[in-house]
């Protein structure tokens, strides 16, 4: 996926937030405050044994998962491109004044480029990196590895084959990890079939892959249909 396509995806999501036709795909589903992927991320970060570890969520959307991290006493930064999403999340977060939660409106790539070395105990990106090409993912893995503390946790999740959105688009190319599908919303997404190919990308960039998690969320994206996901946890 070229950089232009990447920016178009962010703009398309920003547009639907602006129109009020989108409030975060996980809202009012079982995935709003808990998924197997989120619970595993919390577990991996806690295992570091650090007091109030700093974590960053990239592409945070409605910030439900970032808010959960902050409620677990993590010092949390949520990064989201859409100004509408950020304003709504800040309004919700105002109800929890004692939490350590910063909500930042920023382009994901510009934000990660500014991260300092050894500045994060964990980085979490839920259903974000499936918009990126393999080259773009590897670049981000290198940047994020530098930002993680020793043994710091990177949690990245993707759409998986069988997700409801896959059937609503057409395949534009196949990759080592699975097909890239352009949906009826104009956005191209990777639907993962071969998770080992993604794990190998992380290993090449110096990570130790710790765990793979697969899960479903009923009603995610499309009412009465299932969202299918796969997540990978890797450590610096």
Q: What is the mean pLDDT of the chain?
A: 89
Q: What is the DSSP letter of 164?
A: G
Rounded to an integer, the average pLDDT of 99-115 is: 97
User: Does residue 5 carry a pLDDT above 60?
Assistant: no
Rounded to an integer, the average pLDDT of 104-128 is: 97
Instruction: Kindly report the CATH number assigned to the domain that includes residue 37.
Output: 3.40.50.150
Q: What is the DSSP letter of 158?
A: E
Question: 229: which residues sit within 8 A by CB, 6+ positions away?
Answer: 35, 37, 127, 157, 158, 159, 160, 163, 214, 215, 216, 217
Rounded to an integer, the average pLDDT of 204-213 is: 98
User: Does residue 32 carry a pLDDT above 60?
Assistant: yes
SS3 percent helix, strand, coil of the chain, rounded to 5, is 35, 30, 35
Alpha-carbon distance of 107 to 58, in angstroms, equals 9
User: Does residue 49 carry a pLDDT above 90?
Assistant: yes
Q: pTM for the full model?
A: 0.89
User: Does residue 4 carry a pLDDT above 90?
Assistant: no
> Which range marks the domain in which residue 187 is found?
3-235
Rounded to an integer, the average pLDDT of 51-68 is: 96
User: What is the predicted pLDDT for the residue at 186?
Assistant: 86
> Can you read off the two tokens belonging to residue 195?
């998770």
Q: What is the DSSP letter of 187?
A: -
Give tens-digit pLDDT for 117-139: 999 999 999 999 999 999 999 99
Instruction: Give residue 105's pLDDT band: very low, low, confident or very high (50, 70, 90).
Output: very high
Structural domains of the chain, count:
1
Give tens-digit pLDDT for 150-196: 999 999 999 999 999 999 999 999 999 999 999 988 889 999 999 99
């Amino acid at each position: 996926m070229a950089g232009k396509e990447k920016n178009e995806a962010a703009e398309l999501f920003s547009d639907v937030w602006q129109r009020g036709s989108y409030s975060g795909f996980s809202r009012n589903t079982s995935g709003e405050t808990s998924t197997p992927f989120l619970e595993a991320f919390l577990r991996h970060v806690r295992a570091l044994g650090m007091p109030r570890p700093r974590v960053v969520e990239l592409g945070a959307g409605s910030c439900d998962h970032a808010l959960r991290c902050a409620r677990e006493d993590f010092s949390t930064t949520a990064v989201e491109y859409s100004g509408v999403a950020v304003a709504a999340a800040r309004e919700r977060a105002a109800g929890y004044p004692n939490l350590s939660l910063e909500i930042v409106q920023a382009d994901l790539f510009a934000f990660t480029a500014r991260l300092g070395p050894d500045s994060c105990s964990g980085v979490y990106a839920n259903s974000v990196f499936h918009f990126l090409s393999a080259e773009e993912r590897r670049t981000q893995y290198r940047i994020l590895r530098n930002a993680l503390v020793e043994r710091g946790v990177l949690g990245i999740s993707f759409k998986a084959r069988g997700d409801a959105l896959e059937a609503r688009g057409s395949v534009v190319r196949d990759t080592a990890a699975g097909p890239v599908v352009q949906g009826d919303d104009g956005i191209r997404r990777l639907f993962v079939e071969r998770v080992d190919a993604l794990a190998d990308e992380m290993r090449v960039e110096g990570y130790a892959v710790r765990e793979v998690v697969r899960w479903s969320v009923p009603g995610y994206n499309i009412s009465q249909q299932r969202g299918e996901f796969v997540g990978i946890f890797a450590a610096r």
